[in-house]
Amino acid sequence: MEKILAPSLLAGNHANLKNALDLVENDGRKWIHLDIMDGHFVPNLSFGPQTVSDLREGSKLFFDVHLMLDNPHLYIDSFCKAGADLITVHIEPSYDHIETIKQIKSAQKKVGIALNPATPVDDITEIINEEGVDLVLFMTVNPGFGGQSFIHEVLHKVETLSNLREKTSSNFMIEVDGGVGPEHIQPCLNAGVDIFVAGTAYFKRNSTERHQFAQAVGEIN
């Protein structure tokens, strides 16, 4: 399966997010990860659909939109119209997960389901089996703020899901998000990760180091 390095715009300079987006695009990356936070499900705020829409203009990057919201179903239409290519929602909040997944699919967008570090894989297997998703996102930090340390124990769950994917001949992608740096690449690859979200570890590096990061992931030769 294709390997992707998806820089997280949350770690960019919020006074000029367009510059951060241009840097990612000029680096030759394919994806950009956009964390949407409501201050309730996670203790932080980020940006909304208008920002995504403004960034979408002129960008050819794949917009990987991660909704860290208590009520994501209320904002699906807004983010679809804003230009999201993939929308990931969390399993933990109480809302109609199945209907929300169907809503995303009906807008011809790819759909992902996300788990926090303490959430068991069993919580999403029914949705994966019955509805099908394009991506499963494992949070490797407790969500809300950038710059946290990678929680290695999450890779046990990644491996469990990767084995299930193989047994069922499924083709959903597996993504990790939170504290991901070059030192975590090989353990993640061994566990079955396809997409690496990197914020601070990407934007704080120089051009050569970012290129080497993408090479280590396997996105480029």
Kindly list the catalytic residues. 35, 177
Residue type, 198: A
- Residues 35, 10: contact at Cβ < 8 Å? yes
| Closest among 216, 213, 218, 169 to 27, alpha carbons compared | 213
Handedness of CA 112, 113, 118, 124 (dihedral sign): negative
Query: CA dihedral defined by 87, 154, 45, 10, rounded to 10 degrees?
Result: -70
- Residues 146, 11: contact at Cβ < 8 Å? yes
Gap between the Cα atoms of 36 and 42, Å rounded:
10
Element (H, E) at 67: strand 62-68
- Residues 81, 108: contact at Cβ < 8 Å? no
